Structures are given as C-alpha cells and as structure tokens.
Amino acid sequence: MTEQHHPTWAEINAIISQSTPGRIQLQMAFASSHQERRKLVEDAIDWIAQEMTKTSHLRQERGEDEISIDFVSMLKAMGFQAAHDTQYGGHCDVIVEGRDDFLWIAEAKVHSSYAWLEKGMAQLSTRYSTGLDGQDCGEILVYTYQRRLDHIMLEWADRLKAAVSGIQIDQIDMDKLTFLSVHEHENTGRPFRIRHKGVTLHFAPTA
C-alpha cells in the first residue's frame, strides 16, 4: 500500500505564494504583530489598486462609495475582516480589523480639490481613529480620474505640510505612488501614521 504524502509547510507555502493574494492571506493568518498586519493590509491595497487601474476603462465616473466597496470586496476575498461604512466615530470608508484589537481605517476621496483631501485627512485623524496601540495607523486613498497622479501626490504632500501642524512627511515612493506622514494624535498624543495612496483611474486613449 502506497504511503499517503502529506505536504510540508514549505510545499504549502510555495504553492499558495505563487499569487500575491495567496501570499498575503497566508501571512496574515500567522501575523503576530500589529506592524506585520499593517504591512500586509498595505500590500493588499497596493495589489487591489493595481488591479483596478488595469480595468479603469470599466470604472469611469464611479463614486467614492462604489470604488471603496470594490476595495472591501477584494479585501474580504483575500481573507481580511474588512467592511465599508462601519460606525466608528462616523461612516468609515474602509476598515480592516484583526487579532489583538488591530484596527486599520482608510478614508477615501475622489480627488476634485485639495480642500476635499484635507477634509478626508481631518476625518481620519479626528473623527474615525482612536490613536490607541494597534489602532494608530491608517490610510488616505486618493482616487483620481485626472492625468498625472504623480503631480497630484506631490502637491498633496506640500499641502499637508501647511495644513497639519508638526506633521512629518517622507519622500514619495514613485513606484507605489504613496508617501507616509506622522503627526501627534490629538486623542492620545501618540504618533499617528498615515499612508497616502494614489489610485489612478484615468482613461483617455487617443486611438
């Protein structure tokens, strides 16, 4: 009788990790710190944003809620405990919860003006987030149908410096079209880390 083969952890990891969503889901199941969970959520957001850009021609003129619900649906498919419109100080666009009271919140805005983005920053910082341990990170999702997302993100970083007292801003990652900001959370006085992620839905072919 042939002995049944039981796959090793290395074999399971190699198979599942062939896709980005599979890798993220596997690593999230074994994440042991808030920092690991936060990094995996950000990896998932980057992958989803890339997938949305690939199909931007099918997403023209969609609103903030519709795009955010797409993000939540894909996060759920990747195994995250994600939701839209949850009441944490108000109607949160995207949340992800996890073990040990982990909470990540994103505020999403279709870019129409920098004042609109500043409102999103204020909502995330002063309304939705707690600033507690494991709940001291979040994201501003900047959806745009306009061209040159790189210019939008550079200008947004400059506007933030003037809008938020004492904020520290890292250089823009031009590959992921993101940058990080850290400022003192007004509830707790602890550092509040926000990643600002540009999501381009621009579609204007010339042929």
CA–CA separation, 193 and 99 (whole Å):
19
Q: Average pLDDT, stretch 90-109?
A: 96
User: Closest by alpha carbon to 193, among 84, 97, 87, 104?
Assistant: 104
Longest pairwise C-alpha distance within the chain: 74
pLDDT band at 18 (very low <50, low <70, confident <90, very high): confident
Q: What does the mean pLDDT of the chain come to?
A: 94
Tens-place pLDDT, residues 28-37: 999 999 999 9
Q: Is the pLDDT of residue 1 over 60?
A: no
Contact 156, 196 (CB under 8 A): yes
Q: What is the pLDDT of residue 5?
A: 73
pLDDT band at 4 (very low <50, low <70, confident <90, very high): confident
Q: Average pLDDT, stretch 42-58?
A: 97
pLDDT band at 7 (very low <50, low <70, confident <90, very high): confident
Q: What is the pLDDT of residue 21?
A: 94
Q: Is the pLDDT of residue 43 over 80?
A: yes
Tens-place pLDDT, residues 160-184: 999 999 999 999 999 999 999 999 9
Q: Is the pLDDT of residue 46 over 90?
A: yes
CA–CA separation, 107 and 94 (whole Å):
7
Cα torsion through 80, 82, 136, 22, rounded to 10: 20
Q: Average pLDDT, stretch 113-140?
A: 97
The strand ranges marked E within 49-121 are 81-83, 86-87, 91-92, 94-98, 102-110
pLDDT band at 2 (very low <50, low <70, confident <90, very high): low
Q: Is the pLDDT of residue 57 over 80?
A: yes
User: Which residues fall within 8 angstroms of residue 157, CB to CB, at 6 or more apart?
Assistant: 169, 172, 179, 181, 196
